[in-house]
Structure 1
């Protein structure tokens, strides 16, 4: 007897098919349409909870110090010309359609993906190895402009008034490969910052629909002007002011080949 299709199909292929089923018909008004989207989205989250680095043929990477020590033990020191710095973050492209994109971000030890948004987009993020701290923010509707008091007013000099956003720091938590996915929607947890914790890390990422500046889905970066209190419970929301900024010069993203199973849609 031939094995059934579910046994032959790779995990990443199953995730891609479910993502297409979930996002090719965006949620619409109406109870039935909304229920269908939520059911499909729940199935996608369940698959993302199960996926592991081995399913994508990812090999967890060691920290820079361990790599350097191993190299020093195995090879003699040889002078070499100066090389340009490696990007702090790289991306493995898996697949992309008009409805969603899927890939893997790899962060070096100590690297961060700065606070940024996903205009009108859904997202699902699952750690493959290592640890990341994800800080999620929500915009406060109807509160895009305003003024800060005291010393922080100086931080606004030269900033465009319209670039200010009053927001809520909804959560800040550490995720590992054993954690459930981090999920964002167009109006909840849509702004987030991702920091590698205690070594290199990688996470699988689905965005729906993909970024497209020509269709109003460009990535914007932000800086927190008023920090939340350090000592606070994870679930306690804290109001903050965000200022839109250019892409930070210390952050850029390179690319590298994806080693896992091919996806066919």
Structure 2
């Protein structure tokens, strides 16, 4: 009996030691596991958009601190973050007749927001258009682009109405009229301010990434309208502007249907993937 007890004690000690060794090995393996990879820039962009637009909708602007969070990510984005470089065919897509072909790359879209890229060869133009009820972030990834933007001028007697002329055109004030070259800050427009109607003209081949919150949705009254801008002095309408203000205003006349001076071709986005957790 005494011998059996000693054998059992020794066996128990051996088993306990083996268990401790196994635990130590498992702890060591856990320590040796690599940290999860850092999310890509485009993934961080998506995650931030998902957070800040979660409680937004048409005519609802994200909080100022959220605007700055998203702007901070966009400001440092580079072409390689979305798999682009100036040598790609997208940026040399010039046809012998007609306007240069613009390539549209959709990265993500949901009812709350969309992320896309426009790849523009030199001299390509995205005509003057609006963004009804939207907050829009535009980041030029490379190249240089001329941006001209407008906001509506409200009637002094009724701030809910815009000023119109006899032809039905509406008075608008110039907000931006300049060439932007990388590196430059992200531009932001709002539902009723910041240049809600704008036109992009590629001075050199360039790429611009847009975040729209919410995106265009015809069924909800957020269809894209295009405009011709006419000099203010072509028609005074009901507006009376102070001397020196004429050049900063224009009449915007809505165009019928989609313009035929712009050709946009959709293509597959092939940059780093976005994972919707």
What's the CA shift for 1:3? 6.3
The one of 202, 206, 209 aligned to 1:196: 202
The structure whose RCO (Cα within 8 Å, separation 6+) is larger is: 1
Once residues 213 and 104 of structure 2 are traced to their aligned partners in structure 1, the CA distance between those partners, rounded to angstroms, is: 17
* Contact 2:151–2:174 (CA under 8 A) maintained in structure 1: yes
Determine if the alignment matches structure 1 residue 122 to structure 2 residue 152: no
* Contact 1:105–1:204 (CA under 8 A) maintained in structure 2: yes
Once residues 212 and 33 of structure 2 are traced to their aligned partners in structure 1, the CA distance between those partners, rounded to angstroms, is: 35
Residues paired across the two proteins, number: 226
- Cα gap change, 1:172 to 1:84, in 2 (>3 Å): closer
Q: Single out whichever of 9-18 and 58-67 deviates more from structure 2.
A: 58-67
What's the CA shift for 1:63? 9.4
Equivalent position of 1:239 in the other structure: 249
The one of 139, 144, 149 aligned to 2:162: 144
TM (norm. structure 2) is 0.72
- Cα gap change, 1:200 to 1:146, in 2 (>3 Å): same
The one of 72, 75, 79 aligned to 1:53: 79
Q: RMSD of aligned C-alpha atoms?
A: 3.3
| Unaligned runs of at least 5 residues, structure 1 | 69-81, 149-155, 229-235
Determine if the alignment matches structure 1 residue 262 to structure 2 residue 268: no
Once residues 215 and 264 of structure 1 are traced to their aligned partners in structure 2, the CA distance between those partners, rounded to angstroms, is: 27
* Contact 1:170–1:237 (CA under 8 A) maintained in structure 2: no
Equivalent position of 2:218 in the other structure: 213
What pairs with 1:246-257 in structure 2 (closer than 5 Å)?
246=256, 247-257=258-268
What's the CA shift for 1:244? 0.5
Q: What secondary structure is seen at the aligned counterpart in 2 of 1:224?
A: strand
* Contact 2:93–2:121 (CA under 8 A) maintained in structure 1: no
Once residues 67 and 37 of structure 1 are traced to their aligned partners in structure 2, the CA distance between those partners, rounded to angstroms, is: 39
Please say which structure displays the higher CA radius of gyration: 2
Once residues 244 and 101 of structure 1 are traced to their aligned partners in structure 2, the CA distance between those partners, rounded to angstroms, is: 25
What's the CA shift for 1:22? 1.2
- Cα gap change, 1:206 to 1:67, in 2 (>3 Å): closer
Give per-residue Cα distances to partners, 1:145-199, cap 9 Å, x unaligned: 4337xxxxxxx4xxxx3xx1111001112223310011111011111000000x3
TM (norm. structure 1) is 0.75
